[in-house]
Structure 1
Amino acid sequence: MQILTRALGEHFSIGEDITVSVIGVNGSHVRLGIEAPKNISVHRAEIYERIKNQDPGHLTIGPLVKR
């Protein structure tokens, strides 16, 4: 695990295609903005676990679409 220190408004990159920005800090809560290609799904861990545990025939959640 890599541990990074970032302040509000700063960002870091994952590879060439993904950027994670710190967009808010409120006490122990941190809001992150994630920019990634549409073909890469971004989910919170608990949502990802639900998707992994679905029956193979069920419709899974696809990539989020920017609006």
Structure 2
Amino acid sequence: MLVLTRKVGERILIGDDIVLTILDSRGDGIRVGIDAPRGIKVQREEVVRAVTEANAEAAAAPAEAEATLRDLLAKPDEAAPDAK
């Protein structure tokens, strides 16, 4: 990992077409501007992690729903009128 010290207004160049600009520094946080081509994904790690976890939960939900549906179908419906 490359570790750099930069001041407000200074830039970091990545490849030929990505530019990071230090916009502001306050306390223990900084603001970074990112110029990149539209085809390059720029995402915050915590957002990607949250989406991945939500997708995993959603993928598990059908198995749980299937088990619940199977249980409901196995029990006779006491509220339904007799079809005889």
TM-score interval (norm. to shorter): 0.7 to 0.9
- Secondary structure of the 1:47 match is helix
Q: Which has the larger radius of gyration?
A: 2
Instruction: Find the counterpart in structure 2 of residue 59 from structure 1.
Output: none
2:26 corresponds to which letter in structure 1? N
* Alignment size in residue pairs: 54
Any unmatched runs of 5+ in structure 1? Answer: 56-67
Higher relative contact order, chain-length normalized (CA < 8 Å, sep 6+)? 1
Identity of aligned residues (%): 37
Please tell me whether residue 14 in structure 1 is matched to residue 14 in structure 2: yes
Distance across 2 between alignment mates of 1:8 and 1:17: 20
Amino acid at match of 1:28: D
Greater helix fraction, Structure 1 or Structure 2: 2
**RMSD of the alignment, in Å?**
1.3
**Aligned twin of 2:24:** 24
When normalised by structure 2's length, the TM-score is: 0.59
